[in-house]
Each structure stands twice: as structure tokens, then as C-alpha cells.
């Protein structure tokens, strides 16, 4: 039997539709906050959801990879592979990972489509000035101090998604407001 062919009936048996929901955006854009809020709301209604946290993945699945273009591509493909496995088994895989290159994101989308698995790209569209002011992990300050180079959106590329399924603006909005927008979007897609 072809690899993967055994997995699909599981989702059918539980009646749950899965999907990969990839939240792409700059560091401190709000990807993790929104992914966790979405998972919490899905869990509260008994839905199966997992957050594939970028930092955790880099610790376990992508240990040793850095932030070169090639390493970021490899990281994104690995995460995409795992997300698709979850999604095809009825789980909503929420992926708050920068994924700065359009061709990397498109390759992940392509594999989902080839497997008939729903893939939704959500651009967490927060301007770099706002991200830099939030600076959750102190990376923007480190870059400004010359202690870090290759920071996405500052001195490393971020290719803005041209046709995401959803673009969420977070500037000047509360987390509750943007989380509600994401939840409504998931509801419209039959995922919540
Ligand atoms: N140089 C550089 N550029 C961008 N990000 C950096 C860098 N160095 C460390 N970090 C931190 O790494 C976190 C995980 O990155 P990702 O795996 O999401 O990135 S990628 O998709 O592989 O580009 C990412 O997490 P988030 O802040 O949650 O986006 C950053 O905090
Ligand atoms: N409307 C909003 N949506 C999401 N995050 C917001 C919003 N407004 C402010 N924030 C804050 O921005 C920060 C985003 O951090 P985080 O979610 O870790 O970003 P990322 O995962 O993209 O690096 C959090 O401290 C969050 O509370």
C-alpha cells in the first residue's frame, strides 16, 4: 500500500476535517499568540488541534539548523511534512513559523494539495516597526546592537504572501479581537 494511504480513513472515521493553518509573519508579529489562542478555542469545543511551535521544532526536529536560506527552507519543509500528517488525520495543525520564502511556503502547499489535505496560509501582517517595539525575545535590540545579523524583516528577507487565505492586521488591535477574527475564519472553513 502506498505511504500515507492508511492514514486518511482515520479522519473519515472520526468525522473531523483537519487542515494545516500556517501563520507566517515577522518575529513578534503575533503568530504564536494567535496560534495558541486558536488552539485553546478549538480544544474548548472538543476539536483536535496542535500547535507546532517554531522554537520547539528547532529544539527537537531541526536541531543544528541555523537561519541561512537553505536551513530555513529545510526547517519549513520538515514542519510542513509533520503538519500534513496531522492534518490528514483530522487534526488542525496550527503552525506559527516565520517561513520567509514564498517558494518554501508554496512547496508545503503543493504537497498538501497533492495529498488532498486542506492548507490555509494566514499572514500575520504586523509592520516591522511594531514588531520591533514589541520585541518579545529581544532579537530586534540585539540586531540593533550589532550582536545578531540576518534577522528576518530587518537585514534578512521576508517575502510577503501575495494571496494568503487570510491576512490579519494586529497593529492597534487587541489579542482578543484578532483571535476572534482567526476563529471566525476557521469556522467559515468548517474547522471550528
Ligand atoms: N536571525 C533570525 N531571524 C529570524 N528569527 C530568528 C533569528 N534568530 C533567532 N530567531 C528566532 O527563531 C524563531 C524560530 O524561527 P522559525 O523556525 O519560525 O524561522 S524560519 O521559518 O525557519 O525562518 C523565531 O521565532 P518567532 O519570534 O516566534 O518568529 C525567532 O524568535
Ligand atoms: N492583536 C494582537 N494579536 C497578536 N499579538 C498581539 C496583538 N497585540 C499585541 N500583541 C502582542 O504581540 C506579541 C506577539 O508575540 P508572539 O505571538 O510571540 O509573536 P511571534 O510568534 O510572531 O514571534 C505578544 O506579546 C502579544 O501579546
Q: Range of 63's domain?
A: 16-185
Q: Is 173 left (phi over 0), alpha (psi -120 to 50) or beta?
A: beta
- At residue 1, the pLDDT reads 39
Assigned domain for 32 exists:
yes
Assigned domain for 8 exists:
no
User: What was the ipTM of the complex prediction?
Assistant: 0.98
pLDDT digits (tens, 9 = 90+) for 37-64: 999 999 999 999 999 999 899 999 999 9
Assigned domain for 56 exists:
yes
Assigned domain for 76 exists:
yes
**DSSP one-letter code for 181:** H
Assigned domain for 62 exists:
yes
Which distant-in-sequence residues (6+ apart) come within 8 Å of 66 by Cβ? none
User: Could you please report the per-residue DSSP string of 2-24?
Assistant: -TTTTTHHHHHHHT---EEEEEE
Going by pLDDT thresholds of 50, 70 and 90, the confidence category of residue 14 is low
13 labelled as ligand-binding?
A: no
Assigned domain for 55 exists:
yes
Taking CA atoms only, the protein residue closest to ligand 2 atom 23 is: 28
pLDDT digits (tens, 9 = 90+) for 86-143: 999 999 999 999 999 999 999 999 999 999 999 999 999 999 999 999 999 999 999 9
181: domain CATH number is 3.40.50.300
Assigned domain for 94 exists:
yes
Distance 116 CA to ligand 2 centre (A): 32
Minimal CA–CA distance to 102: which of 116, 84, 123?
123
Distance 136 CA to ligand 2 centre (A): 8
Going by pLDDT thresholds of 50, 70 and 90, the confidence category of residue 15 is low
Looking up cell 479522519, which residue turns up?
A: 11
pTM score, whole prediction: 0.94
Assigned domain for 138 exists:
yes
Distance 2 CA to ligand 1 centre (A): 35
pLDDT digits (tens, 9 = 90+) for 28-39: 999 999 999 999
**Domains in the chain, number:** 1
Helix ranges (H only) for the chain are 8-14, 31-44, 54-60, 69-88, 102-114, 128-134, 139-144, 175-188
Residue 71, SS3? Answer: helix
Looking up cell 488532498, which residue turns up?
A: 116
Amino acid at each position: 500500500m502506498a505511504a500515507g494511504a492508511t492514514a486518511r480513513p482515520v479522519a473519515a472515521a472520526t468525522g473531523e476535517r483537519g487542515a494545516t493553518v500556517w501563520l507566517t509573519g515577522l518575529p513578534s508579529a503575533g503568530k504564536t499568540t494567535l496560534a495558541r489562542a486558536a488552539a485553546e478555542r478549538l480544544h474548548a469545543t472538543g476539536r483536535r488541534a496542535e500547535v507546532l511551535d517554531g522554537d520547539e521544532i528547532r529544539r527537537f526536529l531541526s536541531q543544528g539548523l541555523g537561519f541561512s536560506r537553505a536551513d530555513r527552507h529545510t526547517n519549513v519543509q520538515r514542519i510542513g511534512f509533520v503538519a500534513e500528517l496531522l492534518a490528514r488525520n483530522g487534526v488542525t495543525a496550527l503552525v506559527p513559523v516565520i517561513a520567509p520564502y514564498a517558494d518554501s511556503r508554496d512547496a508545503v502547499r503543493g504537497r498538501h494539495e497533492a495529498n488532498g489535505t486542506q492548507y490555509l496560509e494566514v499572514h500575520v501582517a504586523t509592520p516591522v516597526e511594531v514588531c520591533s517595539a514589541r520585541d518579545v525575545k529581544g532579537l530586534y535590540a540585539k540586531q540593533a546592537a550589532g550582536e545578531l545579523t540576518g534577522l528576518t524583516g530587518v537585514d534578512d528577507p521576508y517575502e510577503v504572501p501575495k494571496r494568503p487565505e487570510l491576512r490579519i492586521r494586529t497593529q492597534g488591535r487587541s489579542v482578543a479581537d484578532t483571535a476572534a477574527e482567526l476563529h471566525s475564519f476557521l469556522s467559515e472553513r468548517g474547522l471550528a
